[in-house]
Chains A and B, each alone.
Chain A
């Protein structure tokens, strides 16, 4: 895709309108509850113009930028999974008629979704959830219908979040695949504009309708420079080694007990993580007992019930629950789905009330091995 185009903010407004005209529900970044969240957007005015997010372990704060950028933040507490893999969903309803029961499956939603402002790490997260929910022997029809119709407008990151580490996970900050259109926000003469890259025939078709012009060599270089600057300013990194093997070697490591002293087992990290997919089901009954239904809701490996079997929880200790979460993300996910379960978005670090940092926990285990190795070397 060496051909790229330029449009100005009017082009972005036209994009939102064109998507709406085609029947898409357009969802993008907007300010709500003191954070940048994903919600319906109708016009440029809904976007978080001039805002950024300051993030550190256990800390998130909105702040003003000294420019009028529309996408000058990293990622907020929500991810697109809340739209594709809904937090709460009815699976079926059943009606009892004498000795018979009529079960009615919940029809998959027909709503078409367009996502505006999807980050590179989030594209990878969607791809990972695809593998889990529609890539195996069994397909989740609800996820599938939303996913198949979705139109994705990616935005390359112009600012690294304080807790991001996508470079070390090979998932960003540039969107390389999985989008229909990808934008890079640029300062052009006379205002903001976007360098636009086409990622699919649907994207090309839509772009043709928008007021755009071919990008100059210089503008393309400017776009590349934005992403390079972001990559260079990333404050965190996952240790560069085979983490899959590292963690499998260290299932008995004392660090699990150490982190358990800090972890509150609150499940925040799993709720904000864009790849965490676990769910539980619950049955409901009306008072007469004639109608019942089953709902599915997000669940977390940090709860006691999660691993309950007759007699007690398999993982009663916080250490074992934290270990389950982290080894799944970074290690066993490879065995199960051929990819890491972490895309380096940093949400779990930011939204952990006590600031537990998955890169730091990994480094602690890695460093302890190096120390041991050094000691062995000396003796």
Chain B
């Protein structure tokens, strides 16, 4: 099957998963695993950083999972935290097992708008997974962007996803990486505290910068508010939202937040678009 044929099938039957196979499985944290997938007949999923797929564990159910791999090539990669029946079944899949894939869906990170600007990535926990494709793109086309900074917060040192990769990024000269944890035992020599405390240690030109934030909703709100205080424009701050999703194509209604369908209009939005709705309780 060609790449285009996959996209055509997806459009004709948007609610029907295509069968892929797990080719690799790695444990990232105590409760998160990364899966490498191969679509039927070697087709490749063409996606933009920040887009997501609906993954089916056959007989169990479906979940929205962001692509965490490199948009420039390689296998289709997803990183999944086991929190309930579907995500547990997905993370239990072994190499060779079949898995259902629908996608890619949604609007991703503003890679074109980021050109020529300082780019600040702020990730909380598994929020680094949806940001990783953006980071690959930034590093892959490094000359197109200004200063690139990754601020990353995890609960404990064990919860740092892609640990070796984060360390290798930290060793590079063309990206600033700062990591913090909420709680740590004594062998942790890094920063302790919430991710917002890293913002004042980072270097960027707020008048010509763009931020991409992904993590728990409260964390994203606090980071956005802190960045506004640092001089960021509300429309230069992007967040990736999560809501219950049953279709990913704007038909099931579940993912609504105010006037938006997170699956169709997002998951990535500017803070300017959402600020008002995020401030209203239980919207």
Q: Which residues of A contact B (CB under 8 A)?
A: 91-92, 94, 96, 99-103, 105, 132-133, 136-141, 251-252, 277-285, 289, 292, 294, 296, 299, 301, 306-310, 314-317, 319-320, 323-324, 328, 331-332, 335-336
Contacts and interface: CB of A to CB of B under 8 A. Distances in A.
Contacts of B17: 92, 103
Contacts, number: 124
Contacts of B282: 314-317, 319-320
Interface in B10-57: 11-19, 21, 56
Contact of A279 (B252, B260, B283): B252
A103 B281 contact: no
Contact of B252 (A139, A283, A299): A299
Contacts of B13: 105, 141
**The 10 A-B residue pairs with the shortest CB-CB distance in the complex, in nearest-first order:** A278-B253, A335-B259, A320-B282, A285-B59, A292-B59, A138-B249, A332-B259, A101-B98, A105-B16, A138-B14
B16 A103 contact: yes
Contacts of B259: 331-332, 335-336
Interface residues of B, number: 43
B244 to A, nearest CB: 5
B1 interface: no
Contacts of A289: 59
B266 to A, nearest CB: 13
B243 A336 contact: no
Nearest to A310: B83
Given A101-B98, A299-B252, 17 more contacts: A94-B100, A101-B19, A101-B58, A103-B100, A133-B251, A136-B264, A137-B264, A138-B11, A252-B280, A277-B251, A277-B253, A278-B253, A289-B59, A294-B62, A301-B253, A314-B244, A316-B282
Contacts of B281: 320
17 contacts: A91-B15, A92-B17, A99-B98, A101-B98, A103-B17, A132-B251, A251-B283, A280-B246, A282-B61, A283-B58, A284-B59, A294-B56, A296-B15, A301-B253, A309-B243, A314-B283, A320-B282
Contact of B58 (A94, A280, A299): A94
A307 B254 contact: yes
B96 interface: yes
A357 B78 CA distance: 47
A281 B16 CA distance: 12
A191 B178 CA distance: 86
Given A96-B58, A101-B19, A279-B247, A251 B280 contact: yes
A294 B59 CA distance: 8
Nearest to B257: A314
Interface of B: 11-19, 21, 56, 58-62, 83-84, 96-98, 100, 242-244, 246-247, 249-254, 256, 258-261, 264, 280-283
A42 B13 CA distance: 35
Nearest to A95: B58
A279 B83 CA distance: 23
A283 B249 CA distance: 18
Contact of B254 (A99, A278, A320, A336): A278
A306 to B, nearest CB: 6
A231 B230 CA distance: 59
Contacts of B58: 94, 96, 101, 283, 292
Contacts of A132: 250-251
A233 to B, nearest CB: 35
B59 A299 contact: no
A320 B16 contact: no
B102 to A, nearest CB: 11
B98 A92 contact: no
A314 B243 contact: yes
B251 A138 contact: yes
Nearest to B60: A283
Given A99-B97, A251-B283, A316-B282, A324 B251 contact: no
Contacts of B100: 94, 101, 103
B153 to A, nearest CB: 18
Contact of B21 (A99, A252, A324): A99
Contacts of B253: 277-279, 299, 301
A143 B216 CA distance: 36
A306 B60 CA distance: 18
